[in-house]
Chains A and B, each alone.
Chain A
């Protein structure tokens, strides 16, 4: 019996279990309440790098060029994510500053919009896909439930309130829009076919949506993979009321093609794709194995969201070094194979199963596969979670056909209440950074990042609060030391401890030789970008005179690292800053120029060089280097800065 006839035969049952009409309003109100009461808070983690430390996006918007530069101001990706940066610039221009509540309110608005898109996408899919063809009522009910669960899911707090993850939100927005458009068109095309104009128009609009998505965040490129997944699972080459074998196999080809294309691209330029592993303390194989487990973690957090499990950081998840180390790697892999097998076997009777599985896995394909990114982030589930929410909603609906209306409404109410309360509690934790950091640490005591976040926050509070309790400083040092205990080679911990002892605990500095340890670790550790950034603090402390180390040892340390990491231009930059603080401007100039020769996208050495020549009143060199600075900045991000330096 097809789902269609099944649906018709059960129409009387479904009529009994219609979802209350006011459910959308209730759900939206719950979401607004849960998120809205906790809009205050702080900008966390790399939001500062992208927003508060990024002068280019902090605009008042009076000049058109400010908007252009703001759109180009994100340097952490290939596309620059101009659409996302544009929205941040709008926030700043409208509020006059980065007001956390305004930023989060914007993210919340996007979240609500995304939930609406989840609803219309799923409804369009469930109603029109030839393999499903659910009744309008049933499809609407399931889509509404799925969108509601997705909207209220507490896992998404770390996307909505982690302001910079607006990039992931916007990317998801365009992917959902693209999927809706695809389903909308395919529903018609599968029934009555399409003219060339309709196909071209649909392709054109999808292309535009894809570009907009990719310019928000690159993982929107997955739209081109999700579409064949949807086609293969539920449209199955249906065209003008008939099965079209060519279309079917085209879709299968399109589903396989991305794997082949990526394999080809990687083989053509392995370094471009996998070169980032030189900064990681895991290999490609280890990442792949670990992700098999991490994906199950994600499923767990989505199915049973626990406040004790969810956290900003999950860097304490054990690395899989082989199939048996830990053994859960093997079981996780078997679990995915089993899921794939079940989906394949059930594809006829339950076409949603393969779709859900493919949607979840393809949705994770970019950030949870071969690319040398960090291991685990909750926001990576923002789009893939739609699949699991659909399963959840379908299960609830199935329950509705088995229960009396009253019981069904109670179950529904309980589910929504549980999600809302959990969401509300989690959102509340995000309203205060200290609370957030402490809870993260409680949930993830072995996470280096959680320890660092809390320790660093305590230190910043100590510094920024006049007459602050010294215990705060002691506690800060404690958590840095805890970091050191967890990973004796962690550079951030060593540098922070060195800094704290030098500045605040001079007696401890006499007993603990953090600098010596740093020297030792530097001979063998594989430095990550975060490690290089930690050296910033060291050099700043030394340059300011707050820390006291033998200059020869400092230079030797930097030269040791330069020898080990000759591609890391930042090391010459740090050396230049240190030499400048010692008053050796000629040597500093050489170091800055060497930093430029070593490449990299950082233009700061130019500014340092210009600053030195300016101090020397060497106007000719100032102009020559300003000219070079402009030449090294083809997107003209720094145009207004140069104009200001030239006196407007």
Chain B
């Protein structure tokens, strides 16, 4: 009796111990810096510090995806409103979410692999979940605060699947558990509102029913309503998806306009990348791990590089095997595991014109691979029971080894300089990694070395002529050293034509720094004059993006160049005629200059936008200042 009780206690204890180890391994990484687009996405949080009533703007105002990802932004807003622990807290919350997701994953694997049987399989499930929890591939998800969006989508998707699996297990046992089913839509909605690929929750549930549970019930007769529900969902989902894509076809083709690759090339490349993800998950080449994979060579055809052909042949074999497995009830679960992986990757690793490679894209889909291994291990264990313990030990050892590598990754992610150096070492051909190291060198005052790195980055990618110029100016600002006179005068941007800058962030940062007086070594007025000559001259030769115009408005405002600011605002509006920010800028500067016609026009357009509900709370407050006056 006592031994049984002890055995019963051992499992939760072992799991808690494992979670403790994972937290211990990740802990140093909490001291790390914001990463990549953390700054641009989370900058808005400062508004909440200024006025908590702007929290709504923050939650609903994110534009990194079509849905605005309000649930994810809500967590950031709550974090800022009530705790204000800075980036460390954000990372700690991400770590907490990782542990929660790991626990859900363990329960889901348990529900699917072990079912309602209490004995056997738990050790296997724990070892599989520990591989997921300790994989270094996910350091760039957990310690990259904005990837909380991917984490939350995964968490709620796992919760949805778990909820459904438990409902089905109860149904198979002849019991009813409708509250579980009622919870399902809420969880699916939460997943979708965290990040768009959370929308996959519903198809995943359908997949689970079709190929895992296979409409089986206690009496062996599938309820008609269940079948109707599943096939109905498939039909509705297919129609809605096609309709959405038809109405928003630009979603598919638009992003490719700014990419170096075509949709076909992206698809070809994903064949190789999906294999690379597997290798990096199970036996990572840690030097390559990180957020920069812009050096990944894309496939131009099946033979260029040749590994494309092998990769797709291998995937073809996998898909054939999956199709064959789906034909037989006994092997259908294998097909389910494989398709779960593909479905999990279907949004970000297929036709959409996103960047080629990101590690966080595996955060949910590897569940399919783990499920596959679990199924294999179970079937081998059934046929050869002597191998059960050995398999669990091997999987646990793998988890331990991965955990050691994660410890090393977490240390790297705890220090900005270390990240920049190791990323450069792992990706010497990555333009971004070169730029990153250039920033590090510039911050250390080594402007010459930084400029060399910047030049190298320019050689490694096709960039617009002004991008490097803006970058060099920003580096000069970081270094607090003026650019060599020749270098500044000869920057190709000043004589360029057409669209001169595509890297909006660089110029945006530069402008922010110039505006804040953080570049004492740079003659800000001189730079502003040069931009004015470039962009505002009557025979205007060069153009920039809307965001760059917005930045220049801010710069001129700081320098007191009201007329130029208004001119930039007009150009900004040319590109985005209904942009409230541009209209407010125009209104502000026209008001200073006493241009009543422009003021009146701007007020009219802004009022219309307000009536349409397209102004944020902050924008409405700003508009009210002018209306009241």
List A residues at the B interface (Cβ < 8 Å): 63-65, 67-68, 71, 195-198, 200-201, 204-205, 208, 618-624, 626-627, 630-631, 634, 636, 639-640, 642-643, 646, 648
Assembly CA distance A208 to B394 (angstroms): 8
Q: For residue B408, which residue of chain A has the nearest CB?
A: A636
Residues facing A in B384-420 (CB within 8 A) are 384-387, 390, 393-394, 397, 403-408, 410-412, 414-415, 417-418
**Known pairs A619-B444, A623-B446, A627-B437; A643 contacts B418 (CB<8 A):** yes
Contacts of B393 in A (CB 8 A): 208
Interface centre among A63, A620, A626 (most CB of B within 10 A): A620
- Are B407 and A68 touching (Cβ within 8 A)? yes
Contacts of B406 in A (CB 8 A): 64
Contacts of B425 in A (CB 8 A): 627, 630-631
**Known pairs A195-B384, A197-B386, A201-B384; A67 contacts B404 (CB<8 A):** yes
- Are B418 and A646 touching (Cβ within 8 A)? yes
**Known pairs A197-B386, A630-B425, A639-B412; A623 contacts B440 (CB<8 A):** yes
How far, in Å, is B472 (CB) from chain A's closest CB? 15
Q: For residue A635, which residue of chain B has the nearest CB?
A: B408
- Are A204 and B407 touching (Cβ within 8 A)? no
Contacts of A623 in B (CB 8 A): 417, 421, 437, 440-441, 444, 446
- Are A620 and B441 touching (Cβ within 8 A)? yes
> Is B224 close to A, CB under 8 A?
no
**Known pairs A196-B384, A643-B415, A643-B418; A624 contacts B407 (CB<8 A):** no
**A-B Cβ contacts below 8 A, count:** 101
Contacts of B310 in A (CB 8 A): none
Assembly CA distance A65 to B415 (angstroms): 14
Assembly CA distance A67 to B25 (angstroms): 11
Assembly CA distance A198 to B388 (angstroms): 11
How far, in Å, is B456 (CB) from chain A's closest CB? 13
Residues facing A in B72-115 (CB within 8 A) are none
- Are A64 and B404 touching (Cβ within 8 A)? yes
- Are A646 and B415 touching (Cβ within 8 A)? yes
> Is B424 close to A, CB under 8 A?
yes
Contacts of B403 in A (CB 8 A): 64
Assembly CA distance A196 to B383 (angstroms): 10
> Is B24 close to A, CB under 8 A?
yes
- Are A620 and B25 touching (Cβ within 8 A)? no
Residues facing A in B34-90 (CB within 8 A) are none
Assembly CA distance A59 to B445 (angstroms): 35
Q: For residue A203, which residue of chain B has the nearest CB?
A: B390
Q: For residue A629, which residue of chain B has the nearest CB?
A: B421
Assembly CA distance A636 to B412 (angstroms): 10
- Are B385 and A197 touching (Cβ within 8 A)? yes
> Is B308 close to A, CB under 8 A?
no
> Is B449 close to A, CB under 8 A?
yes
Interface size on B (CB < 8 Å)? 43
Contacts of B440 in A (CB 8 A): 623
- Are B384 and A643 touching (Cβ within 8 A)? no
In the A-B complex, the 4 residue pairs with the smallest Cβ-Cβ separation, listed nearest first, are: A620-B446, A197-B384, A619-B444, A64-B407
Assembly CA distance A618 to B447 (angstroms): 11
How far, in Å, is B514 (CB) from chain A's closest CB? 23
- Are A624 and B441 touching (Cβ within 8 A)? yes
Contacts of A634 in B (CB 8 A): 287
How far, in Å, is B17 (CB) from chain A's closest CB? 14
> Is B422 close to A, CB under 8 A?
yes
- Are B417 and A63 touching (Cβ within 8 A)? no
- Further contacts, 11 of them, CB under 8 A, given A200-B386, A204-B390: A63-B27, A64-B25, A197-B386, A201-B390, A619-B441, A619-B445, A619-B446, A623-B446, A626-B421, A631-B425, A643-B414
- Are A639 and B408 touching (Cβ within 8 A)? yes
Assembly CA distance A396 to B100 (angstroms): 63
Pull 24 A–B residue pairs with CB atoms less than 8 Å apart, ordered by A.
A63-B27, A63-B28, A64-B407, A65-B28, A65-B408, A65-B410, A201-B390, A204-B390, A205-B390, A208-B393, A619-B441, A620-B441, A620-B445, A623-B437, A623-B446, A624-B441, A626-B421, A627-B421, A630-B422, A630-B425, A631-B425, A636-B408, A643-B414, A648-B415
**Known pairs A65-B410, A198-B386; A642 contacts B418 (CB<8 A):** yes
Assembly CA distance A620 to B287 (angstroms): 23
Contacts of A648 in B (CB 8 A): 31, 415
How far, in Å, is A144 (CB) from chain B's closest CB? 30
- Are A620 and B448 touching (Cβ within 8 A)? yes
How far, in Å, is B95 (CB) from chain A's closest CB? 14
Assembly CA distance A67 to B401 (angstroms): 12
> Is B450 close to A, CB under 8 A?
yes
Q: For residue A198, which residue of chain B has the nearest CB?
A: B386
- Are B421 and A201 touching (Cβ within 8 A)? no
**Known pairs A623-B440, A631-B425; A67 contacts B407 (CB<8 A):** yes
- Which of A195, A636, A640 lies in contact with B386, CB distance below 8 A? A195
Assembly CA distance A291 to B397 (angstroms): 39
Assembly CA distance A643 to B410 (angstroms): 12
**Known pairs A620-B446, A620-B448; A639 contacts B385 (CB<8 A):** no
Assembly CA distance A639 to B405 (angstroms): 12
Assembly CA distance A618 to B444 (angstroms): 9
How far, in Å, is B155 (CB) from chain A's closest CB? 24
How far, in Å, is B381 (CB) from chain A's closest CB? 9
Assembly CA distance A241 to B141 (angstroms): 58
Contacts of A621 in B (CB 8 A): 446, 449
- Which of A64, A71, A195, A201 lies in contact with B24, CB distance below 8 A? A64
How far, in Å, is A334 (CB) from chain B's closest CB? 47
- Are A622 and B444 touching (Cβ within 8 A)? yes
Assembly CA distance A205 to B24 (angstroms): 30
Assembly CA distance A624 to B446 (angstroms): 10
Contacts of B417 in A (CB 8 A): 623, 646
Contacts of A622 in B (CB 8 A): 444
How far, in Å, is B289 (CB) from chain A's closest CB? 12
Assembly CA distance A619 to B481 (angstroms): 14
- Are A639 and B445 touching (Cβ within 8 A)? no
Contacts of B387 in A (CB 8 A): 197, 200-201, 204
Contacts of A630 in B (CB 8 A): 418, 421-422, 425
Contacts of B415 in A (CB 8 A): 643, 646, 648
Assembly CA distance A620 to B397 (angstroms): 42
Assembly CA distance A639 to B412 (angstroms): 8
Assembly CA distance A198 to B405 (angstroms): 33
Q: For residue B407, which residue of chain A has the nearest CB?
A: A64
Q: For residue A199, which residue of chain B has the nearest CB?
A: B386
Q: For residue A64, which residue of chain B has the nearest CB?
A: B407
How far, in Å, is A84 (CB) from chain B's closest CB? 16
Contacts of A646 in B (CB 8 A): 415, 417-418
Contacts of B448 in A (CB 8 A): 620
**Known pairs A65-B28, A65-B410, A67-B407; A618 contacts B446 (CB<8 A):** yes
Assembly CA distance A64 to B400 (angstroms): 11
How far, in Å, is A602 (CB) from chain B's closest CB? 19
Assembly CA distance A642 to B445 (angstroms): 20
